[in-house]
């Protein structure tokens, strides 16, 4: 049973949580109050009023595949060569706190295209195609006259691809799109590179990056093979940068960049152990740059929390199309335009089936992150593309020798805690789990309530951390983690 002080805190948190849900349920508009973050992913996301626009902007998405912050020059990686994206950031807005909805490829891409969290639209399992009954942002744009095209990877299945006006595979030159584009039509174009996804082989760029100069993250051992692996990852990011430049040059030469919002981001974090497929920041924290001449201040850097579910609402708002009630994200168009904008208080993450069934949920605020491991009896398991990597082999080799740090050794343990809580200001690497420290008790409870509310509001299929049926009762709320855990 909880002590008196803990009960008081818990009841306060749960009452606040319940009051907020009641308010949301009674508020037809939803809207501004949700910007505080608790229910912002819920169905009542702020609606953007359709605005008349005589010249809707073209929309371009440049998306890399398995790529985290800080691995662009403009994010502080001093060795990687990404001149074109660095230029894009200098001429546009760079976001330092953009996060994916899921650290998995197809689930997160489905979130980008629908503005909904993957479990809400049944796409949480890796490789699940876009359900034919879901309305995507491309459907809505097409309905308003946009010409929609994708080059290469979208990972949403054949039905999704058939609905596009244009699709170009890896052999198609970028001119195939510009030649096919009907004159005078606004367009949405995604360049979906498969860089820097594994497998790696030398030769992506000349000269290659020097393994001696890469930055080895603290969660990996500083090993020659890890350095070689990271240099190959850098090489593919450079190749992506070059191709982005080629596409932008082509669009400019055809006069197609004059009223165009370009967004660059990545679909999930880097393909290394403790990154892709995990809810630690290296799995969730991705680069994001927005460029729109005359509309976005040049060289702006914003720290606001953003999630990939916010992209579709932003594109709709830019095109003057009303956001459907089902979309859970929030438009950050006002932020781009330098207008009044209330930042999110929290972003949420989910991992589900990805070679193994290892469901997890997370909530991240500016200072803290809570991770819920729904199968704590499992140890860390990399996805199969990482299992064959030089880096995973190095971790296992160092583990046998006993040379890993205490934090790195956790990758080889056979179980994990059900709950992890990190103070990101003091511990940005998320090494020091403070879930049981008394000084964090209030924040832990607040984040448990945030995560529970979000899971409940978004029709999650995992048991929420707090009992929703009777939120004011501390004895039932005490059963925060289901007995099976």
Residue 383 as a binder of Ca ion (CB under 5 A): the answer is: no
Only one of the segments 59-67, 170-178, 225-233, 314-322 lies at the binding site for Ca ion (rule: CB under 5 A); that segment is 59-67
Only one of the segments 97-105, 277-285, 356-364, 383-391 lies at the binding site for Ca ion (rule: CB under 5 A); that segment is 97-105
Which residues between 395 and 424 bind Ca ion (CB under 5 A)?
A: none
Burial class (CB in 10 A: 0-12, 13-18, 19+), 452: buried
Shortest spacing between CB 154 and Ca ion, in angstroms = 11
Residue 65 as a binder of Ca ion (CB under 5 A): the answer is: yes
Beta carbons within 10 angstroms of residue 405's beta carbon: 12
- Closest CB to Ca ion among residues 113, 454: 113
Beta carbons within 10 angstroms of residue 408's beta carbon: 19
Which among 25, 127, 71 has a CA at the least distance from the CA of 354?
127
Which among 53, 35, 59 has a CA at the least distance from the CA of 45?
35
Dump the DSSP string for 309-360.
Answer: GGHHHHHHHHHT-PPPTT--S---HHHHHT---PPPS-EEEEEEEESEEEEE
- Closest CB to Ca ion among residues 266, 419: 266
First and final C-alpha spacing in the chain: 18
Q: Are 64 and 270 in contact (CB under 8 A)?
A: no
Shortest spacing between CB 87 and Ca ion, in angstroms = 25
Cα(460)–Cα(245) distance, rounded to whole angstroms? Answer: 40
Only one of the segments 128-136, 259-267, 385-393, 477-485 lies at the binding site for Ca ion (rule: CB under 5 A); that segment is 259-267
Residue 351, strand partner residues: 360
- Closest CB to Ca ion among residues 267, 281: 267
Backbone angles phi, psi at 217, to 5 degrees: -60, 155
The CA–CA distances, whole Å, from 138 to 174, 267, 344, 413 equal 20, 17, 25, 43
Longest dimension (CA), the chain: 71
- Closest CB to Ca ion among residues 14, 309: 309
Tell which one of 88, 105, 289, 309 touches Ca ion (CB under 5 A): 105
DSSP strand pairing (166-168 vs 147-152): parallel
Shortest spacing between CB 103 and Ca ion, in angstroms = 9
- Closest CB to Ca ion among residues 40, 66: 66
How many chain residues bind Ca ion (CB under 5 A)? 5
Residue 66 as a binder of Ca ion (CB under 5 A): the answer is: yes
Q: Kindly state the tokens that stand for 24.
A: 């949301």
Backbone angles phi, psi at 422, to 5 degrees: -125, 140
Shortest spacing between CB 153 and Ca ion, in angstroms = 8
Which residues between 327 and 366 bind Ca ion (CB under 5 A)?
A: none
Only one of the segments 43-51, 64-72, 290-298, 345-353 lies at the binding site for Ca ion (rule: CB under 5 A); that segment is 64-72
Residue 195 as a binder of Ca ion (CB under 5 A): the answer is: no
What would the x/- binding string for Ca ion be over residues 260 to 279, using CB under 5 A?
-------xx-----------
Q: Kindly state the tokens that stand for 195.
A: 């860089």
- Closest CB to Ca ion among residues 107, 115: 107
Shortest spacing between CB 196 and Ca ion, in angstroms = 9
- Closest CB to Ca ion among residues 105, 284: 105
Q: Kindly state the tokens that stand for 455.
A: 């899971």
Shortest spacing between CB 63 and Ca ion, in angstroms = 9
Shortest spacing between CB 121 and Ca ion, in angstroms = 18
Only one of the segments 48-56, 66-74, 255-263, 471-479 lies at the binding site for Ca ion (rule: CB under 5 A); that segment is 66-74
Q: Are 88 and 72 in contact (CB under 8 A)?
A: no
Residue nearest to Ca ion (CB): 105
Using CB under 5 A, list all residues that contact Ca ion.
65-66, 105, 267-268
């Amino acid at each position: 049973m909880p002590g008196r002080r803990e009960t008081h805190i818990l009841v306060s948190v749960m009452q606040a949580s319940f009051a907020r849900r009641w308010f949301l349920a009674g508020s037809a508009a939803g809207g501004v109050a949700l910007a505080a973050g608790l229910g912002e992913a819920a169905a009542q996301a702020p609606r953007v009023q359709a605005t008349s626009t005589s010249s809707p902007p073209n929309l371009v998405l440049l998306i890399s595949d398995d790529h985290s912050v800080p691995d662009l020059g403009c994010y502080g990686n001093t060795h990687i060569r990404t001149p074109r994206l660095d230029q894009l950031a200098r001429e546009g807005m760079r976001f330092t706190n953009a996060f994916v909805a899921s650290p998995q490829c197809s689930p997160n891409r489905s979130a980008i295209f629908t503005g909904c969290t993957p479990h809400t639209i049944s796409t949480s399992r890796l490789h699940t195609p876009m359900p034919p009954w879901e309305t995507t942002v491309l459907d809505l744009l097409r309905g308003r006259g946009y010409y929609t095209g994708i080059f290469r990877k979208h990972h949403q299945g054949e039905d999704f691809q058939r609905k596009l006006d244009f699709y170009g595979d890896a052999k198609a030159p970028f001119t195939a799109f510009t030649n096919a584009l009907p004159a005078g039509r606004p367009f949405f174009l995604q360049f979906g590179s498969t860089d820097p996804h594994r497998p790696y082989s030398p030769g992506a760029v000349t000269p290659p990056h020097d393994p001696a100069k890469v930055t080895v993250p603290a969660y990996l051992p500083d090993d020659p093979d890890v350095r070689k692996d990271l240099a190959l990852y850098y090489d593919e990011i450079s190749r992506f940068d070059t191709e982005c430049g080629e596409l932008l040059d082509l669009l400019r030469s055809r006069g197609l960049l004059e009223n165009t919002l370009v967004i660059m981001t990545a679909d999930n974090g880097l393909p290394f152990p403790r990154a892709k497929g995990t809810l630690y920041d290296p799995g969730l924290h991705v680069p994001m740059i927005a460029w729109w001449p005359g509309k976005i201040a040049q060289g702006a850097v914003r720290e606001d929390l953003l999630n990939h579910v916010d992209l579709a609402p932003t594109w709709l708002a830019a095109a003057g199309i009303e956001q459907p009630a089902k979309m859970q994200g929030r438009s950050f168009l006002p932020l781009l335009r330098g207008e009044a904008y209330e930042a999110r208080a929290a972003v949420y993450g989910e991992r589900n089936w990805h070679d193994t069934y290892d469901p997890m949920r997370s909530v991240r605020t500016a200072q803290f992150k809570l991770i819920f491991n729904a199968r704590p009896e499992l140890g860390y398991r990399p996805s199969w593309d990482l299992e064959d990597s030089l880096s995973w082999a190095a971790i296992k080799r160092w583990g046998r020798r006993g040379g890993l740090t205490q934090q790195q050794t956790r990758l080889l343990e056979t179980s994990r805690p059900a709950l992890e809580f990190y103070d990101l200001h003091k511990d940005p690497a998320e090494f020091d789990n403070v879930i049981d420290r008394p000084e964090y008790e209030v924040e832990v409870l607040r984040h448990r309530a945030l995560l529970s509310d979000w899971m409940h509001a978004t029709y999650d299929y995992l048991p929420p951390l707090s009992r929703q049926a009777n939120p004011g009762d501390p004895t039932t709320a005490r059963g925060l983690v289901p007995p099976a855990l």
